[in-house]
Chains A and B, each alone.
Chain A
Amino acid sequence: MANVKVYSTPTCPYCIRLKQFLKDNNIQFEDIDVASNQQAAQEMVDKTGQMGVPVVNIDGEVVVGFDREKISQLLGL
């Protein structure tokens, strides 16, 4: 099972769709709300070099935005 972390904000439409996509495919993930958790926001910037949500980390591979093809490929869907 892949280790999946999603960095998101509650108001971002692509974040919502990304998480729905993972749920629809029965992928378990850690949902990190960077709006309410400043430390997590900093962690996202440090680890991924990105300052825009959503960011998804799949076993260390970072994908920016809801790139369905790339995410599917990394998860073997």
Chain B
Amino acid sequence: MYDLIIVGAGPAGITASVYAARQKMNFLVLSKDIGGQAAWSGDIENYTGYQFISGTDLVAKFQEHLKNYTIELKENVEVKALQKENEIFSVTTNEASYRAKTVVLASGKRSKPLNVPGEAKFKNKGVTYCATCDGPLFANKTVAVVGGGNSALDATTQLINIAQQIYLINIAQDLTADALVQEKVRRSDQVSILNDTQISAILGDKMVTGIKIKTKSEEKTLAVQGVFVEIGLIPNSEFIQDVEKNGIGEIKVNCRNETSISGLFAAGDVTDVPEKQIIIAAGDGAKCALGAFRYLNRKLK
């Protein structure tokens, strides 16, 4: 039995691990993909200490930091169930079950699918959820980016240097991304912004050849070879039922990162914390590990 199990190894989980290691806790880290969404980020310009760093490099730095400590880490495993019974948590992955006195949930978020015909069929055949990874494959091609927030516009700015023409398909009336990145996109003559527009199907043969879009007044087909889906994220919180969540499935936490279940702490994008930022996830990860440490000390008394 462990003192603590940390679910996730993104910025929140890794920082929690560093703090738990420094308290010499007996703990286990379960990770599906190290770095989480941070690893998929393009350029990061708001993590203190780094004026500019790529997501890949920042995650490498995190891992380097983690290697200073002896940590039990299981990679490429996915948590399927988490419950508390008689003061003990049991965490079940696709491979095994583990028991612990406390848990830090830092399982993050994943891309939201479009749920339109053709999306599943053409995944990796023109449909992609990672502009940073797959962007370079679309050199001199015509592509669509779906979304209107920061991640959609970040994808668009990355693609401006690569693709020939970009349609930005935005379901809302206006873009919601930060002003600075909006300006970059509006300045480019390669980008056509289509507001109030919905994507209704992805078309193709072996590879994507086009998309169907509709506005209030018309429906038409655009010829594109790539579709970048950037319509937001959903929390990885389905494997726990008994905890209090908000309307979109985020786990509710208080300012100490405690959840509605005692001994269960949560940090980062899986929670209802107001800002989803790497630095905030990391900070909350630290609070969780220290909180779990204090919780165990109180129980011993």
What residues make up the interface of A, taking CB atoms closer than 8 Å to B? 9-17, 34-36, 38, 41, 44-45, 49-53, 64-65, 68
Query: Which of A14, A17, A41, A52 meets B128, CB within 8 Å?
Result: A52
What A residues does B132 contact at CB under 8 A? 11-12
**Chain A, residue nearest B122 (CB):** A51
Interface centre among A14, A16, A51 (most CB of B within 10 A): A51
Is B136 in contact with A41, judged by CB distance below 8 angstroms? yes
Instruction: With CB as the reference atom, state the residue of chain B lying closest to A44.
Output: B137
Do A11 and B133 have beta carbons less than 8 Å apart? Answer: yes
A53:B125 contact, CB within 8 angstroms: no
Instruction: Report chain A residues within 8 Å CB of B123.
Output: 52
Once the chains are docked, how many angstroms separate the CA of A12 from the CA of B126?
16
Known: A17-B33, A41-B137. 19 other contacts (CB 8 A): A9-B135, A11-B132, A12-B130, A13-B35, A13-B55, A17-B34, A34-B136, A34-B137, A36-B136, A41-B139, A45-B207, A49-B125, A49-B206, A51-B126, A51-B137, A51-B207, A52-B134, A53-B134, A64-B124
Contacts of A52 in B (CB 8 A): 123-125, 128, 133-134, 137
The smallest beta-carbon distance between A70 and chain B, in angstroms, is 12
- Complex contact A53–B133 (CB within 8 A): yes
Main secondary structure of the interface of A (DSSP, over half): loop
CB distance from B40 to the nearest CB of A (A): 6
Residues of B within 8 A of A34 (CB): 136-137
**Which of chain A's residues have a CB closer than 8 A to the CB of B128?**
51-52
A15, A41, A52, A53: which has the most chain B beta carbons within 10 Å? Answer: A52
A35 to B131 Cα, complex, angstroms: 12
- Is residue B56 contacting chain A, with contact meaning CB distance below 8 A? yes
- Contact yes or no, B137 A45, CB < 8 A: yes
Question: Cβ of A15: which chain B residues have Cβ within 8 Å of it?
Answer: 133
B54 located at the interface, meaning its Cβ lies under 8 Å from any Cβ of chain A in the complex: yes
Residues of A within 8 A of B34 (CB): 17
Residues facing A in B233-269 (CB within 8 A) are: none
State in angstroms the CA–CA spacing of A64 and B39 once bound together: 19
Residues 37 to 91 of chain B near chain A (Cβ within 8 Å): 39-40, 42, 54-56, 59, 76
User: Smallest CB–CB gap between A18 and chain B, Å?
Assistant: 11
Chain B residues whose C-beta falls within 8 Å of the C-beta of A12 in the assembled complex: 130, 132-134
- Residues on the A chain within 8 Å of B42, using CB: 11
Across-interface contacts of A41 in B (CB, < 8 A): 136-137, 139
Interface members, chain B 99-135 (any A CB < 8 Å): 123-126, 128, 130, 132-135
Closest B residue to A15 using CB positions: B133
Given A12-B130, A13-B56, A16-B56, is A51 in contact with B125 using a C-beta cutoff of 8 Å?
Answer: yes
| Contact status B133-A13, CB under 8 Å | yes
Chain B residue at minimum C-beta to C-beta distance from A12:
B133
Q: Give Cα A36–Cα B124 distance, bound, in whole angstroms.
A: 19
